[in-house]
Amino acid sequence: KNQVEQSPQSLIILEGKNCTLQCNYTVSPFSNLRWYKQDTGRGPVSLTIMTFSENTKSNGRYTATLDADTKQSSLHITASQLSDSASYICVVSAKSYGGSQGNLIFGKGTKLSVKP
Protein backbone atom coordinates (compact mmCIF):
# COMPACT_ATOMS: atom_id res chain seq x y z
CA LYS A 1 0.00 0.00 0.00
CA ASN A 2 1.35 3.43 -0.95
CA GLN A 3 1.98 5.46 2.19
CA VAL A 4 3.87 8.53 3.33
CA GLU A 5 4.71 8.95 7.00
CA GLN A 6 6.05 12.18 8.44
CA SER A 7 7.70 12.86 11.77
CA PRO A 8 7.50 14.53 14.12
CA GLN A 9 3.84 15.45 14.08
CA SER A 10 4.66 18.82 15.60
CA LEU A 11 7.79 20.68 16.60
CA ILE A 12 8.52 23.83 18.56
CA ILE A 13 11.88 25.54 18.18
CA LEU A 14 13.40 28.90 19.06
CA GLU A 15 14.06 31.49 16.41
CA GLY A 16 17.52 31.09 14.91
CA LYS A 17 17.76 27.38 15.61
CA ASN A 18 17.95 24.62 12.99
CA CYS A 19 15.56 21.71 12.64
CA THR A 20 15.06 18.61 10.53
CA LEU A 21 11.77 17.10 9.43
CA GLN A 22 11.47 13.49 8.29
CA CYS A 23 9.47 11.76 5.58
CA ASN A 24 9.38 7.99 5.02
CA TYR A 25 7.51 6.52 2.09
CA THR A 26 6.50 3.18 0.64
CA VAL A 27 5.35 4.48 -2.74
CA SER A 28 6.10 2.35 -5.76
CA PRO A 29 6.94 2.89 -8.51
CA PHE A 30 8.49 6.13 -7.29
CA SER A 31 8.60 9.19 -9.49
CA ASN A 32 9.45 12.17 -7.33
CA LEU A 33 9.06 13.69 -3.89
CA ARG A 34 8.07 17.23 -3.08
CA TRP A 35 8.07 19.23 0.09
CA TYR A 36 5.32 21.81 0.46
CA LYS A 37 4.94 24.59 3.01
CA GLN A 38 1.44 25.43 4.14
CA ASP A 39 0.76 28.54 6.17
CA THR A 40 -2.33 28.28 8.37
CA GLY A 41 -5.51 28.64 6.32
CA ARG A 42 -3.60 29.02 3.04
CA GLY A 43 -2.86 26.71 0.13
CA PRO A 44 0.41 24.73 0.15
CA VAL A 45 3.38 26.07 -1.79
CA SER A 46 6.12 23.87 -3.23
CA LEU A 47 9.58 24.21 -1.66
CA THR A 48 11.63 21.53 -3.43
CA ILE A 49 11.30 18.55 -5.71
CA MET A 50 13.51 15.48 -5.48
CA THR A 51 13.79 12.90 -8.24
CA PHE A 52 15.23 9.42 -7.94
CA SER A 53 18.77 10.45 -8.86
CA GLU A 54 18.99 13.51 -6.62
CA ASN A 55 20.42 13.33 -3.11
CA THR A 56 20.31 16.94 -2.00
CA LYS A 57 18.60 20.10 -3.12
CA SER A 58 18.57 23.52 -1.52
CA ASN A 59 16.14 26.41 -1.68
CA GLY A 60 17.50 29.23 0.44
CA ARG A 61 17.50 28.11 4.07
CA TYR A 62 15.66 24.90 3.14
CA THR A 63 17.67 21.81 2.21
CA ALA A 64 15.99 18.57 1.22
CA THR A 65 17.71 15.20 1.05
CA LEU A 66 16.55 11.95 -0.48
CA ASP A 67 17.76 8.41 0.12
CA ALA A 68 15.98 6.33 -2.52
CA ASP A 69 17.40 3.09 -1.12
CA THR A 70 15.89 3.54 2.34
CA LYS A 71 12.95 5.56 0.97
CA GLN A 72 13.55 8.43 3.30
CA SER A 73 13.65 12.17 2.81
CA SER A 74 14.42 15.00 5.18
CA LEU A 75 13.87 18.74 5.11
CA HIS A 76 16.44 20.76 7.02
CA ILE A 77 15.67 24.35 7.95
CA THR A 78 18.64 26.52 8.87
CA ALA A 79 18.53 29.61 11.08
CA SER A 80 14.77 29.43 11.52
CA GLN A 81 12.63 32.55 11.34
CA LEU A 82 9.20 33.31 12.76
CA SER A 83 7.82 33.11 9.21
CA ASP A 84 8.87 29.47 9.02
CA SER A 85 5.98 28.63 11.34
CA ALA A 86 3.76 26.48 9.13
CA SER A 87 2.92 22.89 8.26
CA TYR A 88 5.40 21.08 6.04
CA ILE A 89 3.92 18.41 3.83
CA CYS A 90 5.77 15.63 2.04
CA VAL A 91 4.12 14.52 -1.22
CA VAL A 92 5.30 11.52 -3.21
CA SER A 93 4.34 10.96 -6.84
CA ALA A 94 3.94 7.45 -8.13
CA LYS A 95 4.53 6.67 -11.77
CA SER A 96 1.12 5.08 -12.07
CA TYR A 97 -2.19 6.31 -10.78
CA GLY A 98 -4.80 4.53 -8.79
CA GLY A 99 -5.62 3.86 -5.19
CA SER A 100 -7.28 6.22 -2.81
CA GLN A 101 -5.10 9.23 -3.65
CA GLY A 102 -4.51 8.92 -7.35
CA ASN A 103 -0.80 9.06 -8.09
CA LEU A 104 -0.06 11.67 -5.43
CA ILE A 105 0.35 10.43 -1.88
CA PHE A 106 0.35 13.08 0.84
CA GLY A 107 1.87 12.82 4.28
CA LYS A 108 -0.10 14.30 7.18
CA GLY A 109 2.47 17.04 7.63
CA THR A 110 4.68 18.34 10.42
CA LYS A 111 3.44 21.45 12.20
CA LEU A 112 6.42 23.69 12.98
CA SER A 113 6.17 26.55 15.45
CA VAL A 114 9.08 28.97 15.69
CA LYS A 115 9.06 31.00 18.91
CA PRO A 116 10.92 34.27 19.53
CB of 94 to another protein, least distance (A): 8
Q: What pairs with residue 6 in β-bridges?
A: 23
Instruction: Find the largest Cα–Cα distance for the chain.
Output: 44
Nearer to another protein, 76 or 111 (CB): 111
Torsion sign over Cα 68, 46, 31, 102 = positive
Q: How far is CA 17 from CA 42, 56, 65, 78, 82, in A?
A: 25, 21, 19, 7, 11
Please list the alpha-helical segments (H only) found in 26-76.
none
CB of 79 to another protein, least distance (A): 26
**Exactly one of 61, 102, 113, 115 binds another protein (CB under 8 A); which one?**
102
- Give the range of 13-21, 53-61, 65-73, 93-101 binding another protein by CB under 8 A: 93-101
CB of 36 to another protein, least distance (A): 8
Q: Within positions 25 to 54, which residues make up the interface with another protein, using CB under 8 A?
A: 31-32, 34, 36, 41-46, 49
